[in-house]
Structure 1
């Protein structure tokens, strides 16, 4: 089909919009049918459609960059092992290999060919984070991938429309939550099946024999749109570095971003080497989040597919923590990988400072809580065993002309899991979940505030937490004159001591765990912030009256009443 006429352009655009609805229904099928709270409540998934060359054509709106962009590369690995000629109707393929999938064993990726007659017309792929894969559990304490759980190579999950029972039996035997994990595998296969059926309906409706013309139109259009935006930027190399907590020692993330005509290259040479613990990052995950950092401010309106991803080239030296080779432990790869957009944005701030946000908490603050025999320092007794992965977040960095988002996951985009759900599926009591006052970095635009959670065991038994937190030693930095966000704190309330930011630790049955999540950095001078906005922050509990006076130079009481004379004097004194 020629795309030279205006009518053809309109027809292609209608087909493209329909394709987007297909992949969104694919994703919603996964969310509706998933067993685990990570998919059902937090939306820690991805879904997309690929042409027969393995090029990503469209992704669902629901999903995380780490899953979506890493999965874009993952489908190519599936095709290397199972070329189209080896695929048959009724086949479903699966892997959770970190280097062939989305970076750690907890993510299962499922790929399904869609047949129209005897020909494959597309591939559907999806990913979700399952609650458990065995091993040491979801945490950073593993020293090699072999300790982190069961590793399924790229293989058939179903053949001739029937699930391979030996594969399911092996997985069930090796995980702590067999019902949830197996249920999620069925949900992954189901969502691809729905996507395939809707695609065939679409092709019939539009009279399409194959997707090649539409695929070329979508990919070339996105490539051209991205290239056009890059051409507007000055060529050159821009450098930035960021120090974060790490595990056994601090980690330096170092980037050189080069703008070259119609492409952007990000090179992470100079970044710290691999860790001896499970915070290492496979290259596909590094590429996923680093490219997302670029796309946040360049080509944001361009569809995310193989075309728009191609002009963004991400490299990291093998042996660095951002290109960790097998058999490095990688379970907590998100703690490091999700920092990369901030590093990339720090480079771009030198080019387009009016379009770049401040640093945020960035990495998720997911308390992984466990109870059962051998998991705690004290005897667990006959209390109900459990393992739960809860999704929560600190504040994001202030945005150009806007405050940061409070208790919001960026860059991952997953939702906070409701405490009612957590208390239903585990013997826990969550006594507090509230905004953390004064945690957002000060500025003309304030950084987003974090949150505070207080948790205990409902049966007064001990429980453990797998900590995978950062921004405890090195908080999010403000930008362009803005203040830093507050660092995070993990502590036992009654013992009045602080826990380490990473690793498994135990809480006594009579104690409470308190998790205070970090805030994002501010943008611009705090004394340029509108006093009325400061007063509003005080009323909402984001800023204390004391900080309003000392940091912002605004004299305001808890009711939001401003002493204008004193405020004028405070600001004049600065």
Structure 2
């Protein structure tokens, strides 16, 4: 049990629940305020941001549910590192301060994700923090944008680093910090505008947090926080206890840098040990860090979040358990180990800006390990996503845009995989075409599902998308992604999903295949980038899928009649299901012990 149980026992469950509702409402309000005040589509539309409250020690107590786990999840790590760094410097936190932090090795995951922390004081005592995080579109790295900086040789090549820097002190802005920012990013009005939105949202959260303390009293709020963390911890321990004790291993292959023989085909390894009501996740066997390429994953902020998010989502599925308070209590029963110097626990100053490509695969590998002890709770392999940073100059000023290209989920027990969505720990929204074409010299010329490639299964994998972007003016692009070389895994007899691809089409029609990671490359007006998304793996024997559901997929042009016959043993002729021929084909398949 947690060490705070004695404090938590001093509050009744109803009062704790009322306070939890208040804390959660504050975090949600912060998130919506940030979305609506932001300048860039990556925050306003894609929702690549986080908003959360912590206590004075940096334990997370509530988060904005509409934000991405990869942004809200690391906030506790941000705060704890800020407290550590400021204590080492002999600096104090005072009312009215706002602290800026984006240290990749200090909780921030990677440099483009900036946090702004607003402290909450009552009666001279620090009570907690209201925090926002968001991905910023340029942070002064070696090439435009804040994605696809795939040739960075260390974190210094990835952009500006601010380690627990006060940007507002006692309510007064520190103009020198703002000048440094404006003078060192390519789109200062956009970036600073988003940062000001973050500060405003965090200060709104701090004010609301203070009002909640005034209403209930600091002691009651502290007791409620302790009780809620104990409750979340108890729920997680019960879920773990329901799993059979044992050691479960899985591994996944990553693209790495496909055009570089020394840096391609990397391994992500997971050993998951279940013992009683605790889980240990050991990443021994994961490939060593790449010292001069940015696919490494900071242990705090990326590796831990990928693991916690997967365990929480699988073991405490909200469709089964309802809403579980999202706080630091959930992580207490989980121990994470990773060898120092591996991809999942790199040593400074190894570059990390493209860390999501491996992190999402880490989450998928944890899912694969869980499939051995919780087969009806997992999905088959995901189709990972890619990010393209588009940029250019217009009238002497930079424009930058980061587009997240969807992946797809694998099938799961009783459900097909979701189509064309961001997956696992990223979980951002698809960007509307209208927003892109209204604000940028880009045109989306194609947007459709990538059909007939999903992993076959009783519950098939989801389909990725195909999207084409045309440059309406000279510009450039850089890319970070995964899933070009290795197919998403199928489960329990399901088929593997399809891989992704990227093609550049020059104005004269010449096509060039691109790897999943591409350093900045200039583009001429009229050039088109075509991103073909991957498909998720299938779950279960394809010949156990209801023939009527296969027919529906054929009629919807998701699979061809030939695929229906070859993969599912279902005969569709002239848009109609031939049940007799289907049964005969499936009977022959079963007799052969394989597919049709």
User: Structure 2 length as normaliser, TM-score?
Assistant: 0.90
Q: Deviations over 1:488-543 (max 9, x none)?
A: 11112422331121122444434422110101101011111111111222233322
1:310 maps onto 2:332 in alignment? yes
| Residue pair 1:56, 1:72 contacting (<8 A) in 2 also | yes
d(CA) in 2 for partners of 1:156, 1:2:
33
The aligned residue for residue 407 of structure 2 is: 394
Larger CA deviation: 242-251 vs 487-496 = 487-496
1:465 maps onto 2:477 in alignment? yes
The aligned residue for residue 376 of structure 1 is: none
d(CA) in 1 for partners of 2:370, 2:213:
41
The partner residue of 2:370 within 348, 351, 362 is 348
The aligned residue for residue 474 of structure 1 is: 486
d(CA) in 2 for partners of 1:10, 1:510:
62
| CA drift at 1:95 | 1.1
The aligned residue for residue 28 of structure 1 is: 32
1:444 maps onto 2:444 in alignment? no
Larger CA deviation: 69-78 vs 334-343 = 69-78
d(CA) in 2 for partners of 1:55, 1:2:
15
| CA drift at 1:107 | 0.3
d(CA) in 2 for partners of 1:339, 1:303:
26
| CA drift at 1:199 | 1.9
The partner residue of 2:423 within 403, 406, 410 is 410
The aligned residue for residue 514 of structure 1 is: 530
1:19 maps onto 2:23 in alignment? yes
The aligned residue for residue 82 of structure 1 is: 86
1:569 maps onto 2:584 in alignment? yes
d(CA) in 2 for partners of 1:366, 1:293:
22
The partner residue of 2:132 within 117, 121, 126 is 126
| Residue pair 2:480, 2:516 contacting (<8 A) in 1 also | yes
d(CA) in 2 for partners of 1:447, 1:315:
31
1:266 maps onto 2:281 in alignment? yes
| Residue pair 2:340, 2:347 contacting (<8 A) in 1 also | yes
d(CA) in 2 for partners of 1:464, 1:572:
55
The partner residue of 2:349 within 327, 349, 353 is 327
d(CA) in 1 for partners of 2:557, 2:522:
31
| Residue pair 1:145, 1:328 contacting (<8 A) in 2 also | yes
d(CA) in 2 for partners of 1:241, 1:212:
42
After the TM superposition, which residues 37-48 of structure 1 pair with which residues of structure 2 at under 5 Å, given as runs? 37-48=41-52
| Residue pair 1:103, 1:281 contacting (<8 A) in 2 also | yes
After the TM superposition, which residues 176-191 of structure 1 pair with which residues of structure 2 at under 5 Å, given as runs? 176-191=186-201
d(CA) in 2 for partners of 1:209, 1:305:
19
1:539 maps onto 2:539 in alignment? no
d(CA) in 1 for partners of 2:452, 2:226:
50
SS in 1 for 2:210: helix
Change (3 A) 1:4 1:176: closer
| CA drift at 1:208 | 4.6
SS in 2 for 1:464: strand
| CA drift at 1:12 | 1.3
| CA drift at 1:162 | 1.9
| CA drift at 1:60 | 1.4
The partner residue of 2:243 within 233, 236, 246 is 233
d(CA) in 1 for partners of 2:556, 2:156:
48
The aligned residue for residue 497 of structure 1 is: 512
Larger CA deviation: 517-526 vs 536-545 = 536-545
Aligned length: 561
Change (3 A) 1:2 1:66: closer
Q: Which structure 1 segments of 5+ residues have no match?
A: 374-381
| Residue pair 1:258, 1:266 contacting (<8 A) in 2 also | yes
User: Structure 1 length as normaliser, TM-score?
Assistant: 0.93
SS in 2 for 1:398: coil
SS in 1 for 2:104: coil
The partner residue of 2:233 within 223, 228, 249 is 223
The aligned residue for residue 292 of structure 1 is: 309
Instruction: Provide the alpha-carbon RMSD of the alignment.
Output: 2.1
Change (3 A) 1:417 1:449: same
Q: Which structure 2 segments of 5+ residues have no match?
A: 1-5, 258-262, 590-596
| Residue pair 2:8, 2:224 contacting (<8 A) in 1 also | no
| CA drift at 1:131 | 0.8
| CA drift at 1:561 | 2.5
d(CA) in 2 for partners of 1:446, 1:506:
39
| CA drift at 1:2 | 7.7
SS in 1 for 2:264: coil
The aligned residue for residue 368 of structure 1 is: 389
1:67 maps onto 2:71 in alignment? yes
Change (3 A) 1:4 1:173: closer
SS in 1 for 2:12: helix
Change (3 A) 1:70 1:112: same
SS in 2 for 1:195: helix
d(CA) in 2 for partners of 1:506, 1:562:
51
| CA drift at 1:308 | 0.9
Bigger relative contact order, structure 1 or 2 (CA pairs below 8 A, ≥6 apart): 2
| CA drift at 1:446 | 0.8
Larger CA deviation: 496-505 vs 260-269 = 496-505
SS in 2 for 1:109: strand
The aligned residue for residue 424 of structure 1 is: 438
SS in 2 for 1:353: coil
The aligned residue for residue 197 of structure 1 is: 207
The aligned residue for residue 161 of structure 2 is: 151
Q: Deviations over 1:251-274 (max 9, x none)?
A: 100111111222111110110011
The partner residue of 1:243 within 241, 253, 259 is 253
d(CA) in 2 for partners of 1:147, 1:383:
24
The partner residue of 2:221 within 195, 205, 211 is 211
Change (3 A) 1:260 1:299: same
| Residue pair 1:435, 1:541 contacting (<8 A) in 2 also | no
The aligned residue for residue 359 of structure 2 is: 337
d(CA) in 1 for partners of 2:398, 2:561:
44
